[in-house]
Chain A
Amino acid sequence: MASSRLSLLLAILRRPWFWAFAASTIAFFATLTLSEGRGGGELLSAALTFASFSAIVGIGQMFVITLGPGNVDLSIPATMTLAGTLSLKFMDGQTALILPGLGNALAVGIAAGAFNYLLIRLLRIPPIIATLSASFLYQSLAIWWNRGLRIKPPEALADFATGSTGGIPNLTIIGILIAVVSWVLLERSIFGRWVSAFGQNTRAARLSGVPVEAVRAATYISSAVLASLTGYLLASFSGGAALNMGTEYLLISIAVVVIGGSSIAGGNSNVPGIWGGALLMFLVVSMLNSYGFGAGVRLIMTGAIIIAIVAAASGKGRSV
């Protein structure tokens, strides 16, 4: 009995996502100690809200990174901005257009993902460069379409994005739903097996009959769709789309994937870890904030923590 409990504990310790959640908990309580226990609920709800954005884009990035070395989606920020601007301009503050607006944003995502994939497939451009060049196009499109106007989201949508149901922020519910669906897709469906097979050995996957190109198209499109959904939600949450609203999510999307324990070499994904990483990224910043550190020290500590976590979590040898 005791030994089985011990082995269960060891199994949990060996889960890649364990460390992300453990570090998040430490950061959470370190912040609370300073405020002497006050505001714990608010901090938790803020962390859950902001981590939702990072988690949703992170899941998209994870799909792409799982495809293996060289696969990464650098167009996430531009896609977020484009979807946010286009959908808010389309809705123009009218409540009746909330759902068509969401459809509009998702259509932007599908189009952007398909375009990224076509560049990679037809022009054989390395994914890093393809998504980078495409992001320049999306960025220009957003600037041209928006003309510097800041259009408010429909009131009902803004209320939904900032509100909560049963004490849990609505955005968090959406983020967790997406995480659950992605987990089922990756761990319990044939599609997930195909994605992992692609990342582990593309040639072997192709020879054993995996539709590799369809898999790659689907992953790039889902990454862009999740990015555009985040753009739509973030713009509604913050009262309007801004041209630079996606900028910080490029680094965050990659960081949460890695902190969460997915293999950067591909072939191995980890959905719960994404949420752990997303919470950690937010809580570390708020911890350093509450200790009164300036922007410079905050950045240095964030970088040092990312490197420390990666260095601690590895040690299993290179799988490349």
Chain B
Amino acid sequence: MSSRYRILLPVLSLAVLLAAVFYLQPRAMSYFGLNLLFNLAIPIALATIAQMMVIMVNDIDLSIGTFVSFVACVTATFLNEAPLLGAAILLASILAYAAIGALIHLRQLPAIVVTLGMSFVWGGLAVLLLPSPGGTSPAWIRAVMTVKPPLVPMAVVACLLIAGLTHLLIMRSATGTLLRAVGGNAQAVARSGWSVTGLKAGAYALAGFFGVLSGICLVGLTTSADANIALRYTLLSIAGVILGGGEFTGGRVSPVGAVIGALTLALAGSFLSFMRLSPDWQIGAQGAILILVLAVRLLFSRHGKKWRVANNG
């Protein structure tokens, strides 16, 4: 699939969905309406970027949902009451992510299993911190998340910022190119003198960093936390990366696409509630939208190069 198609389709599916929402509910076409539609998309977009960092090096992170929940619990407790200690815990958790990346590469472990194990660990830590829902969002985070910039709502500004900065980092910088190269051909990277262990640890550290941002933003929006707050992010983030034109292997990812994929998933939820669909079918319809978008992507890719992934050989 050429890179032109890779970004065209996510943009198109978001535009179609947005048009459908505006048609159903014209009042959503306003500063306030847009903010409402996309508000909860910010943490999802950040989690999707985190997942993308791991998919970029040919791994998959099944722990991102519990990790974001854990960060949310830390934010609503330690970061609020003892900011220094809270920040130290969050920093340590990013280092833990880097260590896992290094361990996975050094011992040649399957990432899917190690991150599955880590999802139990993060989940356990979150339960220890907040056995029942509670905590308070630090005031400064709340202030950042509810800031009202002129003309364009905060949610849109934030998503543009995330997409722009990660695009610069991953697609335009030397480090980003190296990281994508690890996914493309790790052996070649190693032979040209780079430490693949270091690069993998770096990719996982970036995933941890964006996971931390996601958890902090989430608490800023919800004002409190609980241990299960973001469990669905694991699946949402994987779906977001794929919707955004990323692929599971070969370092073929797109940060802008990932953010758009996350927005599409978040918007699908709003679209369905505007459709006045019975709540029974909300989850199912989200699945149907996902299938539909991927089916359209198949039509697109037939015009491009031959699709190689799904058959793994």
A interface list, Cβ under 8 A from B:
68-72, 74, 119-120, 123-130, 132-137, 139-141, 143-144, 201-203, 206, 251, 254-255, 258, 264-265, 294-307, 310-311, 314-315, 317-318
Query: What CA separation (Å) do A298 and B311 show in the bound complex?
Result: 39
- Which of A133, A143, A314 gathers the greatest number of chain B CB atoms within 10 Å? A133
The answer to whether A298 touches B290 (Cβ under 8 A) is no
How large, as a class, is the contact surface on chain B? Answer: 35 or more
Give the residues in chain B near A299, CB-CB below 8 Å: 120-121, 123-124, 127
Given contacts A129-B290, A302-B124, could you give 7 more A-B pairs where the C-beta distance is less than 8 Å?
A124-B307, A128-B238, A136-B288, A202-B313, A255-B117, A264-B110, A295-B131
Contact status B127-A129, CB under 8 Å: no
Residues of A within 8 A of B248 (CB): 70, 126, 128
Asked if B312 contacts A303 (CB within 8 A), the reply is no
Specify which of B118, B124, B280, B310 is in contact with A125 (CB 8 Å cutoff).
B310
Least CB distance, A148 to chain B, in whole angstroms: 10
Contact B288 A303 (CB under 8 A): no
Residues of A within 8 Å of B112, CB to CB, are 72, 254, 264
Q: Considering residues B235, B248, B290, B312, which has the most beta carbons from chain A within 10 angstroms of its beta carbon?
A: B312
Instruction: Evaluate whether A303 and B124 lie within 8 angstroms (CB atoms) in the complex, with A128-B248, A136-B287, A311-B107 already known.
Output: yes
B181 to chain A, nearest CB (A): 17
Residue ranges of B at the interface with A (Cβ–Cβ < 8 Å): 60, 103, 107-110, 112-114, 116-121, 123-128, 131, 235, 238-239, 242, 248-249, 278, 280-288, 290-291, 294-295, 298, 307, 309-313
- A139 in contact with B110 (CB, 8 Å): no
* Cα distance A143–B284 in the bound complex, in angstroms: 10
Which residue in chain B gives the minimum CB-CB distance to A307? B117
Q: Is A251 a contact of B310 with CB atoms below 8 Å?
A: no
The one of B113, B235, B242, B285 in contact with A140, judged by C-beta atoms closer than 8 angstroms, is B285
Of the candidates A137, A255, A314, A317, the one whose C-beta lies within 8 Å of that of B287 is: A137
**Complex Cα–Cα for A136 and B310 (A):** 20
Tell me the smallest distance from the CB of A162 to a CB of chain B, in Å.
29
Question: What residues of chain A lie closer than 8 Å to B117, measured between beta carbons?
Answer: 255, 302-307, 310
B309 — which chain A residues lie within 8 A by C-beta?
A: 70, 124, 126
Interface-centre pick from B60, B127, B313 (highest chain A CB count, 10 A): B313
Determine which residue in B113, B248, B290 has the highest number of CB atoms from chain A within 10 A of its CB, and name it: B113
CB within 8 A of A306: which of B116, B280, B307?
B116
Chain A contacts of B290 at CB under 8 A? Answer: 129, 132-133, 136
| Contacting pair A132 B239 (CB below 8 A) | yes
Q: Which A residues touch B235, using CB under 8 A?
A: 74, 132
Knowing A128-B238, A298-B124, say if A255 contacts B283 (CB, 8 Å): no
Contact (A129, B238) CB under 8 Å given A137-B288, A310-B110: yes
| CA–CA, A298 and B238, complex, Å | 27
**Given A136-B283, A136-B287, A202-B312, A255–B116 Cβ distance below 8 Å?**
yes
Count A/B pairs, Cβ under 8 Å. 161
**Cα separation A253 to B43 with both chains bound (whole Å):** 29
B119 to A251, Cβ gap below 8 A? yes
- Say how far A305's CB is from chain B's closest CB, in angstroms: 8
Q: Which of A129, A140, A298, A303 contacts B280 (CB 8 A)?
A: A140
A136-B284 CB under 8 A given contacts A126-B310, A129-B238, A265-B110: yes
Option from A137, A304, A311 in Cβ contact (under 8 Å) with B103: A311
B31 CB to nearest A CB, Å: 32
**Residues of B close to A69: CB separation below 8 A:** 249, 312
Q: How far is the CB of B93 from chain A (nearest CB, A)?
A: 14
Are A295 and B311 neighbours in the complex by a CB distance under 8 Å? no
Q: For B310, what are the chain A residues with a Cβ–Cβ distance below 8 Å?
A: 120, 124-127
Are B283's CB and A296's CB within 8 A?
no
Q: Which residues of A contact B116 (CB under 8 A)?
A: 251, 254-255, 306
Which residues does chain A contribute within 8 Å of B119, judged by CB atoms? 251, 303
**Is the CB–CB distance between B307 and A144 below 8 Å?**
no
- Shortest beta-carbon contacts, A-B, top 8: A140-B284, A136-B287, A303-B120, A299-B124, A202-B313, A300-B124, A296-B128, A306-B117
Give A167 to B252 CA distance when docked, in angstroms. 55
Which residues of chain A are near B284, meaning CB under 8 Å?
136-137, 139-141
Contact residues in A for B114 (Cβ distance below 8 Å)? 307, 310
> Contact: A254 with B238, CB < 8 Å?
no
CA distance A130 to B112 in the complex (A): 17
**Which B residue's beta carbon lies closest to that of A203?**
B313
Q: Is A123 within 8 A of B281, CB to CB? A: no
Smallest Cβ distance from B132 to chain A, in angstroms? 12
Bound-state CA distance A26–B117 (Å) is 20
- Asked, given contacts A134-B287, A144-B280, A310-B114, whether A296 binds B108 with beta carbons under 8 Å apart, the answer is no
